[in-house]
Structure 1
Amino acid sequence: MTFQSVFRWFGRRGQSTVHQVDQDGQKEFTFRAVALGLIIGCLLCFTNLYFGLQTGWISMMSLQSALIGYLMSKFLPTPITAQENIVLQTTAVATGTMPLAAGFVGILPALGLLEEDRDGTPPVHLSWIASVGWSCAVAFFGVFLSPPIRKQVIIEEQLAFPSGTATAQLISVLHELPPPDTTLRQRRGYTELDTEETLNDELSPVEPTELERLHEAAKPEPEGWSSLTWSFLASGIMTLGAYFFPVIFSVPLFGNYLAKQWLWTFTPSLSYIGQGIIMGFPTTLSMNLGMLVGWGILSPISKHAGWAPGPVGDMTSGARGWILWTSLAIMCSDSLVSLGPVISEIVYKKLLRRSISLEDEEDKEDKEVEPDDRLVPMKWVIWGLSGSVVFGTILVWMVFGNEGIKPWATLVGFVMGGLLSVLGVRALGETDLNPVSGLGKISQLLFAWIQPGNVVANIIAGGVAEAGAQQAGDLMQDLKTGHLIRASPRAQFYGQLIGSFLSIIVTTTAYTLYNRAYQIPGPSFPAPTAYVWLGLARLLRDGDLPEKSNVFMLAFGLFFGLVSAIKTYASQRQRWYAKWIPSGVAFAIGFLNTPSFSIARLIGGVVEYIYYRQVGKENGGIRLIIIASGFVLGEGVVSVISLILRTFGVGVASCWGCAHGMCGGCPS
């Protein structure tokens, strides 16, 4: 069966298997939409797991999923409709983001770092079936939490959700629909966000006057498919070449001494460049500023002052472990301060509800535009939330036992997850940033008080709370897209459930294979966020910090708290310079990862900035997104081939050029 015949088969199945149609009678929840969404989602799942274990950074890729799904549908007898594309990208996102939602890039590696002498418990390494149980425990809570949150933040408050809005506008262009109405009703307490000031500048919604020109840039589908294919192949070939000749991805750019002693290498990965394009220049600039401060200033200071006497790359006694604490302070400070406006808005509404004008009182009537048969029934939500909490608590107890975490503590973790999800979703809706790292830390702080001394319980409970906030936020962007395109929320809900279910198996299997073939955390997959989770849990238990690190934590925490407040203020008032104020989370990521991960992303950010300045988004913006997506997917997918080769004992072909000892697969 040929590639094209497979897609034609999907097309016939999609035409004959219709579970739900939109209000105009168009097919919506179809086999082909879900099948394509699962295919793309599985690719994203491998990609996000691969890069999450390397850098701690993953991407929803909702816009890219919609774009790739549209291109793939050109092989079908009948292209997918806009509503099918919504279901497709919703399913893909639910499938692709499980590595972060279920903690495979942070929680599980952190449990593997436990030390019996220090933590009172040996390292926890879950089997495949235990990992499936853990994933099932946290995979569906955020999905069932989404419908009631959607009602409040999308229908009632009409928050911006800039990335979801951008995806809706892209889909309207691809499917030649009128531009969606993105007018936000002004409410007291906040002003409408200028979505061009968001984190990912290239995802900004376009003006209606640009839609025709943008469509012409996206119109030649064969060229778009060709761009995706060639960028995918280029990245995949380079990745496979780097497996056999590791020096390709570990270039001693500043000489062998800095590479070996101070970890200054360069990874010319096309996928990293693609990620930089997707992140945008302001974000990659913040990341590289953090890299310069962390690895160029604080790392040498801590080493030469004797505060971090071990090898620079050692996470316990070396400079890398020392600057980790400053990174943690920055992330917590930035995330917590960014929640300020959200919390104040909630308090404002509760305390001053009586002062709402008559016009706002009239606005309180139900603004839902979808009929009941296209919405998720509330009884489903109630049963789903109850079942996911009860069965999730039982599964966590079965996996970790009483010594790991008490059932009542897991239950509290789910409650915390629900409360923190509301804060995270509101922050995401207004700023396009979901501060899940800070929300997880809030949960860890609580459990340090209610179950003191138990490092395992602290990490697990934090992971339970973070999973709900992460998943609800990601899915809310998709629901915003569906709302603007008038897709069925119930059809999206089905896609979310199916994608989450499949991703449990895919993510668990992929992580198990990676764990067998590589040391995690280790040279190839350092899993930096695992050290953040474990480090905070230990700090909350015994209060021990590396020498002098508390001074730098306080100074950087206060400074970036102020920076975050200024950035939030400027964003709310639509100031042009808001996006150029450093992002604290991106700055901290520059500390967590070695320079090799940041430099290539800066190249991508610079390419994105120059390209849009010279060409303009309306004359080729979609093609740049296609190429960047191909770069990212190419390495993520071909990494599976590398994993298989390593599993069967196929080693590198040559260690030439690896004298600096920083090449994965080569002896030091």
Structure 2
Amino acid sequence: MEMNGTGNDHEEKTARTDHQQEEYAESSSSLQKRKTTYNNDLKEEEEISVEKIFENTEVPSWKKQLTVRAFVVSFVMSVMFSFIVMKLNLTTGIIPSLNVSAGLLGFFFVKTWTRLLQKSGVLKQPFTRQENTVIQTCVVASSGIAFSGGFGSYLYAMSERVVSQSEEGKTDISYKNPTISWMIGFLFVVSFLGLFSVVPLRKIMVIDFKLTYPSGTATAHLINSFHTPEGAKLAKKQVRTLGKFFSFSFLWGFFQWFFTAGDDCGFESFPTFGLKAYQNKFFFDFSATYVGVGMICPHIVNVSLLLGGILSWGIVWPLIQTKEGDWFPSGLSHTSLQGIQGYKVFIGIAMILGDGLYNFFKVLIGTVAGLITKIHERDANKYLPSVDNPPRKPPSFDYQRRTQLFLKDQISTWFAIAGYATIAAISTITLPHIFHQLRWYYIAVIYIFAPVLAFCNAFGCGLTDWSLASTYGKLAIFTIGAWAGASHGGILAGLAACGVMMNIVSTASDLMQDFKTGYLTLASPRSMFVSQVIGTAMGCLISPCVFWIFYEAFPDLGKPESAYPAPFATVYYNMAKLGVEGFSALPENCLKLCYGFFSAAVLMNIIRDAVGKQRGRFIPLPMAMAIPFYLGSYFAIDMCVGSLILYIWQRVNRAKADAFAPAVASGLICGDGIWTLPSSVLALIGVKPPICMKFFSRSTNKKVDLFLGN
């Protein structure tokens, strides 16, 4: 209800700005009618006011919002969420928003904590929505490092395991294998710059421009609802539902483990649609994680993934395979980029670049246009009331209270500038010692332009809820890689530069989202900033350790046939190679196909925008279609199953589905994601599953029986 009211108010203000000349040239009698309408609107708005509900609840100071229990809970949840994000990173690279899960679990853990303390009579401070916001901010900041840290993309792309696949047959190759020490050091010197780059803009973004930040706004409404009596009851039911599906998902993962004693064993290798379809990556692998992800992702994302898999593995690759011996030599290994694997990687890259560049320029143009519009709106709000210029609707109670508290705890601009300059200087000195291919002047140039790009990403995210952090990272790959050149380690320099840029723009948009959430929950900007800093520091320690567990436990990590193929690591390495070496890296006729698929990605986006939102939602997403080009359709089928479950549930009971589907999906994702921790530990200590469950054709089975009979 509050969201609808806010949206209507924003549309009304925009309409007034667009038609000022017509609406402000009215008679005094008309002005009186307007005043009456304003008063009625204000009365109605106050009836649905969120802050009226919490009017008698004291807002703690920013220091009291930062409690020990909040950060203890945040640390535990950060470990859990880092495992989930890391697993998604290293399997398909599709990571849904986990804000709802973070908010729900944070509320549940602290509520349980305070209830126990209350019974023992030692409760000193009640659990507030501001503290809930601090927890959510800290957890999302920490687990976000598992993504922006590049463990499934640019950082792992430097490893020998990935480089050797792309440079098969070459002995003189440059790589940098991951170790905990340099990964932690790298993240600490690049992950905090984005926070300082946009701090001075918080008032302009949130109050002056009134940017919506849809994810931040939705999270705030969720947290506000938890702390009302009705919302607390619903949250309790949602947490109970999450717990049930968490347990089911965890136990299902444990059960499946027993049957995976060898390669292609277990339920995840079940030939659902037949052995021929299985060979072309069409099967349902019984993954609770991706069924849950499918319930969270929009239907068009899941359908786009499936269409991409059908187009590539059902049509394009079989056709190219018939050209073996003509377009590419026969007998090459399945990982050689001079064979069919090269087409899979580079055509996927072409679609990703086509979609990414189109949306980059679209969001950039929208950002500039939106910025101009917001400046004009702000100037238009400064007119003086008169008979010809009637008074605007007085600010609502919610707006006044939120703005007052948001501006109360200021963060000095000089503090932000000094912090940025200090960390930039340390980073410029330190990074060349970690990556000797990355010269100090490359880093200095990045840091000169980074604040502008961080602002663009934060502003664009506020308008569209779309962070283009990975796109800015790809631009750094090509520019710095080409600048360094192949003879001076341009590939590794480009990948390292991608990490620097991606971390800056990603944390900048995340922080501004959190400022918006804090604004709507009355959490202090200072507590939001401190929570983000602490969460980022946690992530810089937790994420490398979690990745190291995967890296040590699974020696085939990053290989196409592995349970953790890390597809984007190969994609990012070959992007850097393409940027440095040019088109010489492509197999025959691959460039023509890349041009075609690049153009198709751009054309699909143009059509999608041209036909409008109502019809455009039926146009597939090129970025989603590109992912199965390398991996296959098995996870897309899982996600479509999740999408189908949600669709049927919504048809049967829309209200219940809307209330509990996120909890069910979160439970499925979290349970299966957490199972990776004990399974990794078992692999590290050498405990292997006892059974291998495989599926053979009838003829192969007869041969096996004859062999065993002998």
Length-normalised TM-score, structure 1:
0.82
Q: 2:615 aligns with which of 550, 554, 577?
A: 577
CA contact (8 A) 1:329 1:556 kept: yes
Within the alignment, does 1:324 sit opposite 2:342 as a pair?
A: no
> Do the aligned partners of 2:294 and 2:643 also contact (CA within 8 Å) in 1?
yes
Partner in structure 2 of residue 559 of structure 1:
600
Which moves more between the two structures, 525-534 or 389-398?
A: 389-398
2:298 to 269, 280, 283: 280
Query: Distance between the aligned counterparts of 2:281 and 2:376, measured in 1?
Result: 59
Say yes or no: does 1:134 pair with 2:175. no
Shift of 1:521: 0.8
Instruction: Give percent identity, aligned residues only.
Output: 26
Which ranges in structure 2 are unaligned for 5 or more consecutive residues?
1-57, 116-125, 261-265, 385-398, 701-710
State how many pairs are aligned: 595
Equivalent pair of 1:90/1:496 in contact (CA under 8 Å): yes
The aligned counterpart of 2:675 is 638
Q: Measure, in 2, the Cα distance between the counterparts of 1:587 and 1:31.
A: 45
Aligned to 1:391: 426
Distance 1:170 1:357 in 2: 29
Aligned-pair CA distance for 1:639: 0.4
Query: Aligned AA for 1:632?
Result: I
Q: For structure 1, which segment, 162-171 or 629-638, has the greater mean C-alpha deviation from structure 2 after superposition? A: 162-171
Q: Which residue of the other structure, out of 209, 228, 231, is the alignment partner of 2:245?
A: 231
- Is 2:209–2:374's contact at 8 Å kept on the other side of the alignment? no
Q: Distance in 2 between matches of 1:259 and 1:576?
A: 36
Mapped pair 1:300 → 2:318: yes
Structure 2 partner of 1:92 = 139
Question: Aligned pair 1:478/2:497, yes or no?
Answer: no
Deviation, 1:54, is 1.0
Aligned position for 2:363: 342
The one-letter code sitting in structure 1 at the alignment partner of 2:94 is W
Which moved further from structure 2: 411-420 or 82-91?
Answer: 411-420
Alpha-carbon separation, structure 1, partners of 2:461 and 2:616: 16
TM-aligned CA deviation for residue 224 of structure 1: 2.8
- Preserved CA contact (<8 Å) 1:342 1:426: no
Select 1:433's aligned residue among 463, 466, 474: 466
Within 5 Å, give how 1:92-491 maps onto structure 2.
92-112=139-159, 113-115=162-164, 121-176=173-228, 215=231, 219-246=233-260, 247-260=266-279, 262-306=280-324, 307=327, 314=335, 316-348=337-369, 359-360=380-381, 369-370=404-405, 373-401=408-436, 404-453=437-486, 454-491=490-527
Q: CA deviation at 1:528?
A: 0.8
Q: Distance in 1 between matches of 2:483 and 2:465?
A: 32
Q: Is 132-141 or 366-375 further displaced after alignment?
A: 366-375
CA distance in 1, matches of 2:602, 2:558: 30
Equivalent pair of 1:163/1:432 in contact (CA under 8 Å): yes
Q: How much does 1:362 deviate? A: 5.5
Instruction: Specify which of 509, 529, 541 is matched with residue 493 of structure 1.
Output: 529
Q: Distance in 2 between matches of 1:499 and 1:319?
A: 43
Computing the radius of gyration over CA atoms, which structure comes out larger, 1 or 2? 2
Query: Are 2:547 and 1:511 aligned?
Result: yes
Shift of the 601–119 alpha-carbon distance from structure 1 to 2, 3 Å rule, reads farther
Unaligned runs of 5+ in 1: 1-20, 178-211, 662-668
Q: Determine the structure 2 residue equivalent to 1:194.
A: none
1:474 Cα deviation (Å)? 2.8
Q: Residue 569 and residue 391 in structure 1: after superposition, are their counterparts in 2 closer, same or farther (change >3 A)? A: farther
State whether residues 141 and 536 of structure 2, in contact with CA within 8 Å, keep that contact through their aligned partners in structure 1. Answer: yes
Deviations 1:60-101 (A, max 9, x none): 411221112122233133562211111110001011111121
TM-score by length of 2: 0.77
Q: Write the distance in 2 (CA, Å) between the matches of 1:311 and 1:73.
A: 57
Aligned with 1:77: secondary structure? helix
Q: Distance in 1 between matches of 2:534 and 2:213?
A: 24
Is 2:367–2:456's contact at 8 Å kept on the other side of the alignment?
A: no
How far is 1:329 from its partner? 1.7
Aligned residue for 1:97, secondary structure, equals helix
* Cα displacement string for residues 273-302 of structure 1 (whole angstroms, at most 9, x for unaligned residues): 111111132211122121211222222122
How many Å apart are 1:229 and its aligned residue? Answer: 1.7
Judge which range, 442-451 or 22-31, deviates more.
22-31
Counterpart AA for 1:565:
I
Contact 1:303 1:318 in 2 (8 A): no
Amino acid across the alignment from 2:314: G
Q: Deviations over 1:26-48 (max 9, x none)?
A: 95222222222222222111110
Q: Is the 8 Å Cα contact of residues 188 and 540 (structure 2) preserved in structure 1? A: yes
Kindly tell me: are residues 84 and 350 of structure 1, through their superposed partners in 2, closer, same or farther at Cα, counting changes over 3 Å? closer
Taking a change above 3 Å as real, the CA distance of residues 570 and 70 of structure 1, as seen in their structure-2 partners, is farther
Tell me the secondary structure at the aligned position of residue 339 of structure 1. Answer: helix
Q: CA, structure 1 residues 238+456, in 2 after alignment: closer, same or farther (shift >3 Å)?
A: same
Q: CA RMSD in A?
A: 3.0
